[in-house]
Structure 1
Amino acid sequence: MGFIRTTPPRPVEVTAVFPELAPLARPAIRLHPRPGSPSVRDSSVGGPLLWPAREPWPHCEGADLHVDTGFRRSPTEVRLQRRLQSRWRPDDLPPAFTPEEEALKERNAAWLAERLDASPPWPAECPVPMLPVAQLFLRDIPLLRPPGQADLLQILWCPYEHEPDYKPATALFWRSAAEVGDILATPPEPYEADFPGYVPEPCVLAPEAITEYPNSLDLSPELQRMLEDWNRWQAAGADVDSSYAEYPRDFYSIHLGNAPGWKVGGWPPWGRTDPNPRYCTVCEVQMVPLLTIASREWDGGEGHSWAPQEDQAAALADSSYAGQKPTQPTGVEVGSTDNMQIYVCPASPEHPHTDLIQ
């Protein structure tokens, strides 16, 4: 953890205005992923995993459920194109690959040709190697509640959307880092991805503990009406712009409720649907959010109030150059710039997890 990111204080202390919300506070850890070169011993997004050499790498067996978008690029090609885009400026000539990138491109082309010339079955009909999404060590993310002696969480996904929900299939592994002996040096990669947004960029993390309050949709009708009472905000002396007088609940939703971005714990980011509780398929306990996989670290416009203090200049500049989006350091995009929520059973984290796009 070599850098720091700090969420600015909220413009209003929400429990000073609405003490009724205090019992609903939840701890969360914003991960603040930023492009880097994590090792297998680091917590990361899209980085290499501390994976035992003798343990089979997870593959997606649901090829019959894959949605074919016609996208035909390998993860290596996706990352190379991002590197090129990161050096592009509107007034410049198109940048060229460096010699090292050219060599990588040639090796990738040779690898693809070998795969495509291989004997049947066609690669797309074979089990597809999954891609690393996140690796989180308990020492960095103490909010994790692993089973037994585990101190490491690893999450992978298939780089294809699956019918009928049109989302990548996910796999979750808890393990003890001390029990990993020989490490798998060269994990298999899929020969293509369904969409570049399912190829995470390697990112290091700057975990930050915060306190969250529910998305307004998670509140009771009574509490929702309370948020909509402009007189209540004024009586508490809250410094809220009068432009919110007609819809003060929007101020809460944008600035005070659940934080955007990659995070562990906290409250779900509803929006695509109304709140949709998830229940454990084994013990029927209501599941809790484990990890939010976000398409954006913060929203544009007023939503940049969630941008860390160290990133405020970049947020205000709102750079739109390809590959230069400070809100999307991971390159991940799920759904229509939505979030994927991973849920686990609070009684037994080893029970099957579930996921939901919001």
Structure 2
Amino acid sequence: MTRTTPPRPADVTAVLPRLAPLARTATRLHPRPGSPSARDSSVGGALLWPAAEPWPHCDGPHELAGVNPAMPLPDVRRGRRIRAAAYGRSLTEQEREALARIRPARSGPMTEPPVPQPYGGSMAMLPVAQLYVRDVPGLRAPEGTDVLQILWCPFDHPPEQYMPRTALFWRSAAEVVDVLSTPPEPPAVQFDGYVPEPCLIDPEQVTEYPDLMELSEESQERLADWNAWQAAGAAPDGSYAPAPQEFYGDALSVAPGWKVGGWASWGLTDPVPQHCRVCGAPMAPLLTIATGEWDDSKQSWIPYEDRTAGHGHPTAVQIGRGYSQQLYVCPTTPEHPHSELMQ
């Protein structure tokens, strides 16, 4: 099904004309549950991986220090099947017992720090996204390639990183003749939110402007002036009158959800410039891996076709406490290492 983002509820450049040259095109991916094949663009689907090429593994270390044990991958999938079957009704006693076996409840207070649980050896990585250039407008591929594949290790790697560690691969689809039919899988995952649900995508281009935190103090003050919005004929409803800059952040700047390119959102930290570790060039946003497609503050971004949807969490991915994982690449030399951060 085609997804269509409604037009923005106001023209912010009428309020702040200096934003016009800062407009960027982002491609919203709109992942929705499906059964993608290796020849499809997808989130969490099968990859067009050559049978003769080693599958990516993460060498770790893999260690848990939380109160919950790692989850075997079959248990994650079984739990999701049970919850999906029970959607809209109460769980049966049999279903509750099955879920309790998958994730036993912790009994009693925790009086001592949890003992770290090491997982030895390398860990097979999980598919996160496969994006064909033919399907995703604005996705720039290195010469001779036409498909981007992203995988991650389903464990955090503290103290440097409290999110999955990603690996990026560009390849030519025409060169893959013998496809790996049964890729290896990790024996366990740290969180079930690190297992993307297979989804097809429906890319759509939208216009974005910088996050409020990236604007100059003068521009922020202009957007916080209710009279400026009224004078431009772009004032939102009165609920935003005390802080119209929040309307800019909610409805006019950065689109929520999974997307390619565009502007980055900030809030967990102040804006952090990303520079290539090899050549020092400013890095470009490649992909935003989002916990959800929208939340209560971003409802104007809900596609027309999803207005009756019960939730905006089709991929089942969760980054931190509901954040996004942003991937950046070097625009001058794609072979240079990418960077990633949580926001």
> TM-score w.r.t. structure 2 length?
0.90
Where does residue 320 of structure 2 map in the other structure? 335
Task: Give, in whole Å, the separation in 2 of the partners of 1:21 and 1:67.
Answer: 45
Where does residue 107 of structure 1 map in the other structure? none
Residues 340 and 91 (structure 1), Cα distance of their counterparts in 2 relative to 1, 3 Å cut: closer
Q: Could you list the per-position Cα deviations for residues 260-314 of structure 1 after superposition, in whole angstroms to 9, with x for gaps in the alignment?
A: 00000000011100100111011100101100000010012x4211111101122
Superposition pairs for residues 302-321 of structure 1, below 5 Å? 302-314=297-309, 319=310
2:217 is the alignment partner of 1:232: no
2:341 is the alignment partner of 1:350: no
Given that 1:159 and 1:195 are in contact with CA atoms closer than 8 Å, whether structure 2 keeps it comes out as yes
2:54 to 53, 56, 63: 56
The amino acid across from 1:256 in the alignment is: L
Where does residue 139 of structure 1 map in the other structure? 134
Task: Give, in whole Å, the separation in 2 of the partners of 1:244 and 1:162.
Answer: 40
2:200 is the alignment partner of 1:204: yes
Where does residue 114 of structure 2 map in the other structure? none
Task: Give, in whole Å, the separation in 2 of the partners of 1:255 and 1:268.
Answer: 15
Q: Could you list the per-position Cα deviations for residues 198-223 of structure 1 after superposition, in whole angstroms to 9, with x for gaps in the alignment?
A: 00000000100111111101111111
Identity percentage of aligned residues = 57
The amino acid across from 1:163 in the alignment is: P
Q: Could you list the per-position Cα deviations for residues 37-56 of structure 1 after superposition, in whole angstroms to 9, with x for gaps in the alignment?
A: 00000000000100011111
Given that 2:64 and 2:70 are in contact with CA atoms closer than 8 Å, whether structure 1 keeps it comes out as no
Given that 2:27 and 2:136 are in contact with CA atoms closer than 8 Å, whether structure 1 keeps it comes out as yes
RMSD of aligned Cα (Å): 1.9
Task: Give, in whole Å, the separation in 1 of the partners of 2:128 and 2:266.
Answer: 22
Task: Give, in whole Å, the separation in 2 of the partners of 1:257 and 1:42.
Answer: 30
**What's the offset of the Cα at 1:95?**
8.0
Structure 1: 5+ residue runs without aligned partners? 103-121, 320-325
Superposition pairs for residues 107-256 of structure 1, below 5 Å? 124-164=119-159, 165-256=161-252
Task: Give, in whole Å, the separation in 1 of the partners of 2:143 and 2:36.
Answer: 26
The amino acid across from 1:76 in the alignment is: P
Given that 1:32 and 1:206 are in contact with CA atoms closer than 8 Å, whether structure 2 keeps it comes out as yes
Match of 1:154, SS? Answer: strand
Given that 1:47 and 1:132 are in contact with CA atoms closer than 8 Å, whether structure 2 keeps it comes out as yes
Q: Could you list the per-position Cα deviations for residues 143-186 of structure 1 after superposition, in whole angstroms to 9, with x for gaps in the alignment?
A: 11111111000000001011012111110001111111211111
Where does residue 112 of structure 2 map in the other structure? none
Task: Give, in whole Å, the separation in 1 of the partners of 2:316 and 2:38.
Answer: 20
Task: Give, in whole Å, the separation in 2 of the partners of 1:96 and 1:156.
Answer: 35
Given that 2:16 and 2:219 are in contact with CA atoms closer than 8 Å, whether structure 1 keeps it comes out as no
Match of 2:30, SS? Answer: coil
**What's the offset of the Cα at 1:5?**
0.5
Match of 2:308, SS? Answer: helix
Superposition pairs for residues 230-309 of structure 1, below 5 Å? 230-300=226-296, 302-309=297-304
2:27 is the alignment partner of 1:45: no
**What's the offset of the Cα at 1:90?**
6.3
Match of 1:231, SS? Answer: helix
Given that 1:79 and 1:201 are in contact with CA atoms closer than 8 Å, whether structure 2 keeps it comes out as no
Task: Give, in whole Å, the separation in 1 of the partners of 2:201 and 2:322.
Answer: 21
Task: Give, in whole Å, the separation in 2 of the partners of 1:180 and 1:91.
Answer: 45
The amino acid across from 1:230 in the alignment is: W
Given that 1:88 and 1:95 are in contact with CA atoms closer than 8 Å, whether structure 2 keeps it comes out as no
> TM-score w.r.t. structure 1 length?
0.86
Task: Give, in whole Å, the separation in 1 of the partners of 2:137 and 2:15.
Answer: 30
The amino acid across from 1:225 in the alignment is: E
Where does residue 94 of structure 1 map in the other structure? 92
Task: Give, in whole Å, the separation in 1 of the partners of 2:65 and 2:175.
Answer: 39
Structure 2: 5+ residue runs without aligned partners? 99-116
Match of 1:243, SS? Answer: helix
Task: Give, in whole Å, the separation in 1 of the partners of 2:93 and 2:252.
Answer: 42
Match of 2:76, SS? Answer: helix
The amino acid across from 1:279 in the alignment is: H
Residues 27 and 90 (structure 1), Cα distance of their counterparts in 2 relative to 1, 3 Å cut: closer
Given that 2:15 and 2:223 are in contact with CA atoms closer than 8 Å, whether structure 1 keeps it comes out as no
Residues 92 and 62 (structure 1), Cα distance of their counterparts in 2 relative to 1, 3 Å cut: closer
Task: Give, in whole Å, the separation in 1 of the partners of 2:26 and 2:39.
Answer: 23
Task: Give, in whole Å, the separation in 2 of the partners of 1:149 and 1:24.
Answer: 31
Task: Give, in whole Å, the separation in 1 of the partners of 2:186 and 2:36.
Answer: 21
More helix, by proportion? 1
Where does residue 32 of structure 2 map in the other structure? 34
**What's the offset of the Cα at 1:87?**
2.0
Given that 2:25 and 2:261 are in contact with CA atoms closer than 8 Å, whether structure 1 keeps it comes out as yes
Task: Give, in whole Å, the separation in 2 of the partners of 1:199 and 1:71.
Answer: 16
The amino acid across from 1:42 in the alignment is: D
Task: Give, in whole Å, the separation in 2 of the partners of 1:238 and 1:93.
Answer: 48
